[in-house]
Structure 1
Amino acid sequence: MLTKDIKTKIVISTSVDPYYNLSLEEYMLNNVEEDEVILYLWQNANTVVIGRNQNPWKECKCKELELNDGKIARRLSGGGAVYHDLGNLNFTFVASEALYNLEKQLKVILKAAQKEGIDAQFSGRNDIEVNGKKFSGNAFYFTKTSAYHHGAILIDTDISKLGSYLQVSKEKIQSKGIDSVQARVVNLKNLNKAITIESFKMRLKESFKEIYGENSEEYILNEEIFKLNELYNKYSSWEWIYGESPSFDISFKNRFTWGDIEIGLTLKKAYIQKAVIYSDALNSSLILRLGDVLEGINFDVSKICEKIRYLSTEFGEDEIINDIYNWMKSKVLQF
């Protein structure tokens, strides 16, 4: 059934520069209209993209990537690190808060896969799979008025590079019952040799129009046509990509069902001067706020627990908050 009374756009970037493509994504997020849904299709060349709150040195073999003319980029959304090359196709759904609909958005992806003879399913917290193997990881980002849902679709990517550049923890691999990250993923071309980037792009456009409306305007953009200097400078900057990596006086690490977390604290006269949180949790905003609320308080685990519990007033009852609260509460006996 077609959705009426909304505007739809299909935006295709011809750039393969991750800093430009992420800039364009944020530009659309900040400028999407109340009655608008955008499907954005893009590719990055030889790039590791990390989640908003991840530590690049722990997630990626940075020096090896650099020596092979690769780039490291940091996105706004949470989740884990991914490898992009010209064998995968990235998609983003950008919408106002009112029109953001994960079920419909996923339906576009699943329907496109079905058109290519792939019986795919959404699985776990953020994966799209076929026969138990992942070909797309998804992540999400929300502002007060808009949101996006994006992911990378493995069509003919270099799986060996994916495995060599990404540093996935043994705990994470073991929790999924696999031997390596390569064993967990699959290229769609392995399942249907006729699939190409262009054919899947066409299927996505068809599915989007079938689900959201046939009158979608299509825009082909590149860096010459549509310049994004300010956002580009942000995404390509050392500060955004690598950020601060202070020497912590104390560090807490744990793994939960929703992801890994490391809380690094720098202390001065028994007060928390700096709190840096690294995590692949999908809720990037919550993780950022956790660091904010811990700074400036005295280093007392019961006080830390109070601040963690306070986050429920902003984010509501949340599994992440409850898990971190109970974990930190168990530390009381150690201090």
Structure 2
Amino acid sequence: MIFIDNEGHTNPKLNLALEEYALRHFDASTNYLLFYINEPSVIIGRNQNTIEEINPNYISAQNIHVVRRISGGGAVYHDLGNLNFSFITDHDGQQISNFEKFTAPVISVLNNMGVPAALKGRNDILVTNQKISGTAQFSTGKRMISHGTLLFNTNMDEVAKALHVKLDKIASKGHKSVRSRVANITDFLSKPLSMAAFKNNLLAGLYQASEPFETYKLTETEWQAVRDLKAEKYDLWEWNYGRSPKFNIQRQKRFAIGEIDMRVFVEKGRISDIKIFGDFFGRQPISDLEALLIGVPYQKTAIENQLNNLNLTGYFGTLPKTEFINLLAGTD
């Protein structure tokens, strides 16, 4: 087992790029362990509809990263109080979905620290009925990642705010997250422990449970390749939002000018069709506005740019453009 040094990087897009690069390009005859800590971010599962998982107003206001990972499962919140672990190993056809095998050494270390953790359900680590870790896997066919979170001292208020989604009428085939009762590992420790000390204790415990480790530092050439992957994939709207499964959503609100009821159909992250109904009064055909929105990324900034030079008075009367955009984008 070789421990990969991520050199303290906390950008989630870079860390996910590093993880994928190691999976695809590091020595296939060797097992690897990677730790990383991310600054505030929401990490979306591979098969999820990003829009269904996040609170866009709060995400934008707090500059929280939204990044899609290559593994399945649900959306999770990361901050500097959350430690992520990743085992990169061979895939022999037997290990995929075998979460017990990969979580066992982590659970053992936690138990030795006095935290009565155990694997419950398919892929969660719990203390009593409180979730302290969720895990996921991804396979290339020959190699695989088994990775997970460890909620050490995460700001639970931020978890609730970032992942709080309004009850709009959304229909999609995306894999929806199941919210669980969560807790921090620090809640179960007999004495205070810093994140650095916790990370070192976990690493030392994993060392003891395996063959001797060595630490690997990436070359500058390898880091450049990681940065390239980040730029070409994890930085892109097309990956983080555009890869969402197709879905449709209803946005409805009553304004002074009357009620607006929109049915929005989204495919590959772009508006593929939109119908606007209501009891408002307008001189211009609403179909003209609908046509203007076809093909636009379903994202507030993109909608603003598309409607920047358009006067909506002819369609709705004296409705401020910002109110229409907020309704359409779900940021009202």
TM-score class, shorter: 0.5 to 0.7
Structure 1 counterpart of 2:253: none
Residue 201 (structure 2) pairs with residue 208 (structure 1) = no
- Equivalent of residue 52 in structure 1, options 39, 46, 53: 46
Q: Deviations over 1:238-273 (max 9, x none)?
A: 10000066976899xxxxxxxxxxxx998xxxxxxx
Structure 2 gap ranges (5+): 168-177, 251-264, 273-332
- Which consecutive aligned stretches of 4+ in structure 1 deviate over 4 angstroms post-superposition? 99-102, 220-225, 244-251
Structure 1 counterpart of 2:240: 241
- Equivalent of residue 149 in structure 1, options 143, 146, 166: 146
The Cα shift of 1:115 comes to 2.5
Structure 1 counterpart of 2:126: 129
- SS of the aligned residue for 1:54 comes to coil
| Whole-angstrom distance in 2 between the partners of 1:157 and 1:132 | 18
Residue 31 (structure 2) pairs with residue 37 (structure 1) = yes
| Whole-angstrom distance in 1 between the partners of 2:245 and 2:223 | 37
Structure 1 counterpart of 2:254: none
- SS of the aligned residue for 2:134 comes to strand
How many residues are matched? 237
| Whole-angstrom distance in 2 between the partners of 1:184 and 1:222 | 41
Structure 2 counterpart of 1:324: none
Q: CA RMSD in A?
A: 3.0
| Whole-angstrom distance in 1 between the partners of 2:80 and 2:59 | 16
Question: Given residue 71 of structure 2, which amino acid in structure 1 is its aligned partner?
Answer: S
Structure 1 counterpart of 2:5: 12
Superposed, which structure 2 residues align to 1:1-335 within 5 Å? Answer: 8-13=1-6, 14-98=8-92, 102-167=99-164, 181=179, 184-192=181-189, 193-214=191-212, 216-219=213-216, 226-227=223-224, 228-233=226-231, 234-243=233-242
| Whole-angstrom distance in 2 between the partners of 1:65 and 1:249 | 22
Q: Do 1:10 and 1:219's aligned partners in 2 also have CA atoms closer than 8 Å?
A: yes
- SS of the aligned residue for 1:73 comes to strand
Structure 2 counterpart of 1:325: none
The Cα shift of 1:77 comes to 0.5
Give the TM-score normalised by structure 2: 0.64
Structure 1 gap ranges (5+): 1-7, 171-179, 252-263, 267-273, 275-335
Larger radius of gyration: 2
Q: Deviations over 1:225-245 (max 9, x none)?
A: 822233101111010000066
The Cα shift of 1:198 comes to 1.6
Moved more, 62-71 or 84-93: 62-71
Q: Do 1:87 and 1:197's aligned partners in 2 also have CA atoms closer than 8 Å?
A: yes
The Cα shift of 1:223 comes to 8.5
- SS of the aligned residue for 2:116 comes to coil
Moved more, 193-202 or 72-81: 193-202
Give the TM-score normalised by structure 1: 0.64
Question: Given residue 46 of structure 1, which amino acid in structure 2 is its aligned partner?
Answer: P
The Cα shift of 1:10 comes to 0.8
| Whole-angstrom distance in 2 between the partners of 1:83 and 1:74 | 12
- SS of the aligned residue for 1:226 comes to helix
- SS of the aligned residue for 2:115 comes to coil
- SS of the aligned residue for 1:39 comes to strand
Q: What percent identity do the matched residue pairs reach? A: 34
Q: 1:86 to 1:265 in 2, by over 3 A?
A: closer
Question: Given residue 210 of structure 2, which amino acid in structure 1 is its aligned partner?
Answer: Y
Q: Deviations over 1:141-180 (max 9, x none)?
A: 011110011111001100000001113699xxxxxxxxx9
| Whole-angstrom distance in 2 between the partners of 1:224 and 1:34 | 19
Q: Deviations over 1:23-70 (max 9, x none)?
A: 000011112434311110001101000100111111001231121121
| Whole-angstrom distance in 2 between the partners of 1:249 and 1:56 | 13
